[in-house]
Amino acid sequence: MQMIRKIVWKIAIVGMLAIIAAGCAKGDQNGNESTKGDKSKPQITISAYDAGNTPPEEGTIEKNRWVTWMSENGPTQIKVIGIPRTESVQKFNTLFASDSAPDLIQEFSGAFRNQLYDQKLILPVDEFVEKYSTTYKKLLEQYPTLKKAATMPDGKMYGFGRINGLRPHNVLMVRSDWLKKLNLSVPQTPEELILVLKAFRDQDPDGNGKKDTIALDMGSRSTQVLDSMFGNVGWTISDDKMVWDWERAKAAAAFKKQLYDEGLIDKDYLTKKGSGYMGLYAQEIIAGKIGMWGTSVHQSDIETFKALKKADPNAELQVIPLPATVFGQFSPILSNPVQITGMINANAKHPEAVMEYVDFMASKETGQTLKYGIKGEDWKEGENGCQQFINKEKTDPKIKYTAAYTMLFSPIVEGSCGQFQASLNPNDPIEKQYLELMKQAYEIYLDEKHPMPDFTHPEHIPAMPGQLQTSFNNATKNIGDIWTKAVISGNSYSIDQAFQDAKSTWDKNDGKNIEEWYAKWYQDNKTKAFFTKDFYEFKLKF
C-alpha cells in the first residue's frame, strides 16, 4: 500500500506540472506538442538491442533522431541503454549486479525472464495495466493469450508483449537449379537427403571443375533444422505425459555423425566464426559453394539472397519440407506468435511512467512511425492501403536500426501491411523471387499436420526453481558437448557410448527430479499454458 500511495502521489504531481506546462508547449512540424526539455515529464531508462547497424550519420543506438522523437512525442523522457544483441543476458546481469539496470528491460529470452522472476528483480504489472493503461489494456482484452503468456506461477503478469502472428522462422533452403542439373528430386527421407548431399559433393554442381562444394552448411540454423527433422527438442508430450526424449537425440546425433564422417559438411564448422543472422556461411552461399542450408525468409536474410543473385543471376533456390523420419514429419521452429518482450525493473523509480511509455509504444501510430518514418515525409498510404515509401533509398538509413525500439508494437494491428512481404516490390524481379520463397515457407511450414516438434516456443518454457534450473542448464550443456564429441570423433567415440554418457550426466545432475518437476508442471498446466497447438489460431495468411 505504501508503494501505491507513493505512485499515486507522484502521478498527481506529474499531472499538475503537465497542466501548467501544456499552455507553454509549442507544436512541432507534425502537429505534435514539443516537449523537449520539459521537466514535467518523468525520466525513465530503457534498454535497446544494439545490433551494430546504426548508420554513423544517424548517431548511436543511445542517441539519435528517434530517441529524441520518442522523448518529445511520448509521455516520458527516455534514456536508452544499449545492449549487445548477441550478448544481451551477460550485459543485463552485469547491469543488475551494479544496480544500473534500466527501468524497462526489453529482452526476448524467456529463460532470462524466468531468472529475473525467480530472483524477484521484476515487478508484476497487473495493477499498472489496470490503473495507467488504455492501449495495452485493449490489446490484452482483444488477445487474452497475451495475458496467459505473461503470467508467472504466482498468477500475476510479469511483462508486456506483442502479437506477431504465426509465421515461419527457420527454413531449409536448397539450390533447386543444382537439383535440376543433377536430375535429383527433393529428398523425402534422411536416406534420400544423404544421396542428394553426396551428389552435391561429388558431381561438381557449380561446374568449376573442382571438388570444392560444401553439400550442407552447419551454421546454427542448419543445426536447428536437423534437430527439428528428428524432433530432437528435449521435452516432448507422449501419451499425455511430459518426457525427455533420448531416442530422438540419439538419432539426430547419429545423422550428424554420418554427415561429418562422409564429408558432407565443413569439418571446421565448430571453430568457424559466425556472421550474425546470416549464419556461418553467408559468403560461401553468395559464392555459390553450398547446396543446402538452414536460414530464414525474414528481412535479415534478403540481403544474402540479393548478393547471391548479383553474383549468379541464374541461381535458383527453393524452400523444401523437412524429410520425414521414424518419429514423424515436422516443421522447423516457428516464430513466436505471442511474445513477451518487456519487463519493469523492481527498482524502477517511476513504474507508472514505464506503463505509460509502454502504452505509447504499443500504439499503431508510434509503431508505424518507427518502422517506416514520418508519414507524409517518408511514406504514404499506397493503393492497397499499406505503407508506400516516397523515397526508399533516402528513408532506409533512418529506419535501418529502429527494430530495437519496436519490441512492444504488435505487427498484427497492421493486418497484412505489418508483414515484411508488404514492403517488397513484386515488380522487382529479385524481390518477386524472394516473395515466392516466402510463400513456399508459409505454405509448407504452417501446416498443422506437420507441426514444429517443440511443445511450445522456447520463450514460453516454464521456470523451474533456482537449483533445479541450474542443474538442468549444466546437464544440457554437458550433454550437448557429449553429442558433439561423438559427431566429430570417428570410431574412437561411438554414438552408443555417447548415449550412455549423456544419460549418466543427466542422472548426476538431478535428472530424475527435473523430470518429475516437468511431469507435474504439465499435469497442472496442460489446460492453461500456451502450447504449440494453440499457435495456429494466430496463423498469418500470405
* pLDDT tens track for 304-315: 999 999 999 999
The reported pTM is: 0.82
Residue 37: its pLDDT value, please? Answer: 53
Which grid cell is 518?
516437468
Distance CA 420, CA 475 (A): 38
Rounded Cα distance between 296 and 395, Å, is 25
Domain 170-332+428-455 CATH (choose: 3.20.20.70, 3.40.190.10, 3.40.1160.10, 3.40.50.720):
3.40.190.10
List of residues 6+ apart from 472 with CB closer than 8 A:
464, 509, 510, 514
Domain ranges across the chain: 43-166+336-422, 170-332+428-455
Q: What is the model's pLDDT at position 5?
A: 40
- Asked, colleague to colleague, whether 43-166+336-422 and 170-332+428-455 share their fold, the answer is yes
Q: pLDDT at position 273, please?
A: 57
Cβ–Cβ contacts within 10 Å for residue 505, how many?
Answer: 18
pLDDT digits (tens, 9 = 90+) for 325-376: 999 999 999 999 999 999 999 999 999 999 999 999 999 999 999 999 999 9
Give the H/E segment covering residue 180: helix 176-181
Which residues in the chain come in under a pLDDT of 70?
1-38, 273-280
Q: What single string gives the DSSP state of each residue in 186-252? A: PP-SHHHHHHHHHHHHHS-TT-SSSS--EEE--SHHHHHHHHHHTT-SSEEEETTEEEE-HHHHHHH
Backbone CA torsion sign across 151, 410, 277, 88: negative
Res 463: pLDDT? 81
Beta bridge partners, 292, equal 174, 216
Question: E strand or H helix at 286, and its extent?
Answer: helix 282-286
φ, ψ for residue 442, nearest 5 deg: -60, -45
CATH topology for the 43-166+336-422 domain: D-Maltodextrin-Binding Protein; domain 2 (3.40.190)
| SS3 labels along 491-528 | HHCCHHHHHHHHHHHHHHCCHHHHHHHHHHHHHHHCCC
- Residue 280: what pLDDT? 53
